[in-house]
Structure 1
Amino acid sequence: MVASKARIGIKQYIKDKPTKWGYKLFVLADSACGYTWNFFVYEGKSSLATGKGLSYDSVMQLLDLSLLGGGYQLFMDNFYTSPCLFMDLLAKKTLACGTVRTNRQGFPKKKANDLSRRDPRGTIRWLRDGKLLFLKWMDTREVTMCSTMHKAYGGETVLRRVKNPDGGWEMSRIPIPAAVKDYNKYMGGVDLSDALIGYYNVLHKTTKWYKTFFFHFVDIAVVNSFILHQHLSRAQNKSPLSQKEFREKLVSELAALSSTSAAPDLPASTSHAPDLPASAKAAEEPCCPEYFGSDARSGRRVCALCKLSGLKVKTSVYCTKCSVPLCFVASRNCFRKWHTDGHSQTV
């Protein structure tokens, strides 16, 4: 969810999310590093729907042709998991595993030998339907899984707190299905990507809904670049930068590129021109607006032109040549008026 309360039809409300209001993005991310492979913005009911549900359509849209058939393993939560989706992915040589809702179409409804609330931790019940494995595992509560790549149980155990015969609690190892263990290990690529974006994001408050998207897409691009930087650094046996250092270096390099590309090429005849004295250079210096402080919120002073009109309007901008504070906003451009009316000649 990209937080926003803009008045637009594609905005969503999901009560169970930490960010309840905003734009909903479906994301495919690498489970190991959080690299964003693909994403799209949910815009509501689509005319290209297959009739198999939003969860089915979103997964198939995220897995483009370059990924399908590559033997990848896909992990997902219970919103996406369905037997129909898993069988279609398996037909395209893509393995899948995820938690599943028991009311999904195709989920077995047999009650014989099912789990009960009184079953101890580590109890496993499973059922195989062709290539599909359905299993239930009792932890603190019942966990229901579906997979096309796992055995029901391979001998794995996990440390949990269980009751002993005396009624007390003790740490003990209990059986755990491989599907649950791998799901806990690999499910979280999207969460990792969101966390990396949230540490240092460029999102600003704006009244334009499309700017919110733009800022978030910039964050995705920067985080993906940072992840590639980490992998390349480790491959070259170098110490990778932290994300903060990477962003600072990226900004400085972009600023340097912008300044060099914006500088006009000097003609050849001026290459041997004599150096001007300091007084002449100061006279040729253009009038440019600049902030008093590091941003628009610090170092505010009364505008010189507004003061002549009897007003006391504070501004954070001044002229670098004239050294006078002047308003420089969309509704009031005292900077331009000051220089066009000839006030700069009297200072």
Structure 2
Amino acid sequence: MAHCTCEEALGTVLDSEEEFTFSSEEEQESNDEWSHFEEQLDPSEDNDSDNQMPVAKKARTNKQSALTWKTETEVDLVPQTLRFVPARDPGPQLWSTDSYTPLSLFKLFFSESAVSTLCYNTNAQVARSIERGRKYRWTDVGVSEMYRYFGLIFYMGMVKLSSINDYWRQGSLCSVPFPATIMSRDRYRTISWNMHMSHPAADKENDKKKGTDEYDWLFRVKPLMDTIRLACKTIYHPRRNLAVDERMVACKANTGMTRYMNAKPTKWGFKLFVLADSSNGYTVDFSVYTGKNNVATGNGLPYDTVMSLMDKKLLGSGYHVYMDNFYTSPKLLTDLIDMGYGACGTYRDYRKNSPQNAANSLTKNSPRGSIRWIRNGPLVFVKWMDTREVSVCSTIHPAYTGDTVQRRVKTQDTWSLKTFPCPAPVTAYNQYMEGVDLPDRLLQYYTAQHKTLKWYRKIFLDFLDIAATNSFTVHKELYGNMTYKEFMEQLISELCGVSPKIPEKRASSDHVPVPGALLSTDTRKVASSGRRICVHCKAAHGKKQQTPWKCQACDVHLCLQLTRNCFQEWHKAL
């Protein structure tokens, strides 16, 4: 593969006129299968109230009311397997003959051109602040210094102290010497206070549109966000199983965009909708929720979010996408299968067109491991009793294929493992939805996030996290020989231009035995001149042994004899 920019590489994919459609034979098979599902409907009579309803819609409505829940003992139809046709070969889209370091991979997301734009807008913001009366000692920040600034942010994510000032505090037990060797504290803080992704003059024009439909809520982050999103799509092509989920960026700023989510570890913040590769957690695409749906189609925010992330020209067809109950709806899954995408997700019973029939369904008293399912065309709705009821809808799996899970069960004050049957959609959902949480696990310990006054700088720090975790994922795909901690240590050292390893401390050459006094010309006094009590003999044994030898560096007298080497013992304790 030839080297090219992110824009050129992605443009090659998006400009292709190839349509990812099924062959006529596959389309006929799909139509035959749909007819096969339709033939299993219970026939129902039209009534006068349904005269204005289209025939196909009346059939589906009457069918749904006639469907009843079945048990795991009844055999479900196996859905037709979608043909997997990715737009590019899955995996990193890089030269296989080149060697990639953590820094070279990171620069694929934060390229020098993108960082140059960041420097230009930051310098403009500082000039604007100085005009307003800020007292800064400032010289324009350049690309190389901005990369060192990124390195310090990542360093602070690995070495956590209570405040920024502590990283430059000297003379205390917990002092760290590294940050002061990269830049001064005031320089770091001034860059942080003025970090800007858009030009301040353009911000002012956008702010005038506040309260109108033309106002862009994400204007301050869009220049860098578009660059990061393009890089995510270009550098790596996902494997077949994808997951859609939310990611929270902690922030309590009163912007109108922050949300409260009780189910998330981070309760308050910005909500990011993320499309990730389930096999390794790579962030394929994301969008920031602004509090309103800018691409409303009348089908709701969850529907529009998934559809906007599932770009057929970029991805290809035949993908399987997994999602939680915020997104799953029968209409979404039906429309995805029409586009050539299989889908599976937990669902909420009250969603439109979900089965409402309670006959033979699960109850609170149903035994653990009980399974109920309904097949409605390409959709299978499955209920499973674990510690509580789990509801899953899928267009990929049959209801039950004999899978089992083990659970710890308490019987007569003792715990033991017991095996329970588990529906196929639940097994697959648990397996592939874990992938979207992999970046969060990495960032649990080494995140770039820290307190800042401006909301858009919180999102900027999240862009750094996305670039770092995606770089690590690609590096692991290529080499697989580093932990995330080792990767970040090397990335920090390369960003800051220092060696990742500190040379081992060597013993000082000053610690050598020398005579305790000047040698006398009188040979009779050579052995007795300058003799003093050995500090080690007195401290360790309480004896007052005298010796003519002392340590040149420590300036203390120590025995140096064949039978008593106090010089060595003393320096072992230092």
Provide TM-score, normalisation by structure 2. Answer: 0.42
Query: Are 2:379 and 1:136 aligned?
Result: no
Q: Which piece of structure 1 moves more, 191-200 or 173-182?
A: 191-200
CA distance in 1, matches of 2:267, 2:433: 22
Bigger radius of gyration, 1 or 2?
Answer: 2
Query: Are 2:465 and 1:224 aligned?
Result: no
* Change in CA separation of 1:116 and 1:94 when aligned onto 2, cut-off 3 Å: same
Query: Are 2:289 and 1:76 aligned?
Result: no
Residues 29 and 193 in structure 1, CA contact (< 8 A), matched pair in contact too:
no
- In the TM superposition, residue 121 of structure 1 has moved relative to its aligned partner by 1.4
- TM-superposition CA deviations, 1:61-111 (whole Å, max 9, x none): 112234554211111111110000001111111111111100000101112
SS in 2 for 1:187: helix
- In the TM superposition, residue 169 of structure 1 has moved relative to its aligned partner by 6.8
CA distance in 2, matches of 1:28, 1:52: 20
Q: Which piece of structure 1 moves more, 246-255 or 34-43?
A: 246-255
- In the TM superposition, residue 7 of structure 1 has moved relative to its aligned partner by 2.5
Cα-Cα RMSD? 2.1
The size of the alignment, in residue pairs, is 251
User: Map of 1:194-205 to 2, 5 A cutoff?
Assistant: 194-205=440-451
User: Map of 1:13-28 to 2, 5 A cutoff?
Assistant: 13-28=260-275
2:297 aligned residue (39, 50, 54): 50
* Change in CA separation of 1:255 and 1:133 when aligned onto 2, cut-off 3 Å: same
- In the TM superposition, residue 5 of structure 1 has moved relative to its aligned partner by 1.4
CA distance in 2, matches of 1:38, 1:176: 32
Q: What does residue 255 of structure 2 align with?
A: 8
* Change in CA separation of 1:47 and 1:204 when aligned onto 2, cut-off 3 Å: closer
CA distance in 1, matches of 2:381, 2:304: 22
Residues 206 and 212 in structure 1, CA contact (< 8 A), matched pair in contact too:
yes
SS in 2 for 1:134: strand
SS in 1 for 2:400: coil
Residues 156 and 176 in structure 1, CA contact (< 8 A), matched pair in contact too:
yes
Letter in 2 for 1:243: Y
CA distance in 2, matches of 1:243, 1:160: 32
Q: What does residue 340 of structure 2 align with?
A: 93
Give unpaired runs (5+ residues) of structure 2.
Answer: 1-247, 499-574
**Larger proportion of helix:** 2
Residues 373 and 380 in structure 2, CA contact (< 8 A), matched pair in contact too:
yes
2:491 aligned residue (236, 250, 261): 250
Runs of 4+ aligned structure 1 residues displaced above 6 Å come to 166-169
Residues 293 and 301 in structure 2, CA contact (< 8 A), matched pair in contact too:
no
Letter in 2 for 1:242: T
Query: Are 2:456 and 1:210 aligned?
Result: yes
CA distance in 1, matches of 2:389, 2:307: 29
User: Map of 1:1-347 to 2, 5 A cutoff?
Assistant: 1-66=248-313, 69-161=316-408, 170-234=416-480, 240-256=481-497
Letter in 1 for 2:466: I
* Change in CA separation of 1:161 and 1:199 when aligned onto 2, cut-off 3 Å: closer
CA distance in 2, matches of 1:222, 1:198: 13
CA distance in 2, matches of 1:41, 1:116: 39
Q: Which piece of structure 1 moves more, 134-143 or 78-87?
A: 134-143
Letter in 1 for 2:477: H
* Change in CA separation of 1:38 and 1:185 when aligned onto 2, cut-off 3 Å: same
Name the % identity: 55
* Change in CA separation of 1:125 and 1:168 when aligned onto 2, cut-off 3 Å: farther
Residues 345 and 392 in structure 2, CA contact (< 8 A), matched pair in contact too:
yes
CA distance in 2, matches of 1:213, 1:168: 49
Q: Comparing both chains, which one has the higher relative contact order based on Cα–Cα distances under 8 Å and sequence gaps of 6 or more?
A: 2
SS in 2 for 1:2: strand
Residues 295 and 304 in structure 2, CA contact (< 8 A), matched pair in contact too:
no
- TM-superposition CA deviations, 1:116-156 (whole Å, max 9, x none): 22221111111000000001111111111100011111111
CA distance in 2, matches of 1:256, 1:42: 37
Q: What does residue 312 of structure 1 align with?
A: none
SS in 2 for 1:199: coil
CA distance in 2, matches of 1:85, 1:250: 41
Residues 13 and 21 in structure 1, CA contact (< 8 A), matched pair in contact too:
yes
- TM-superposition CA deviations, 1:242-266 (whole Å, max 9, x none): 2122122122223339xxxxxxxxx
CA distance in 1, matches of 2:401, 2:294: 44
- TM-superposition CA deviations, 1:217-267 (whole Å, max 9, x none): 011001100011111014xxxxx122122122122223339xxxxxxxxxx
Q: Which piece of structure 1 moves more, 66-75 or 82-91?
A: 66-75
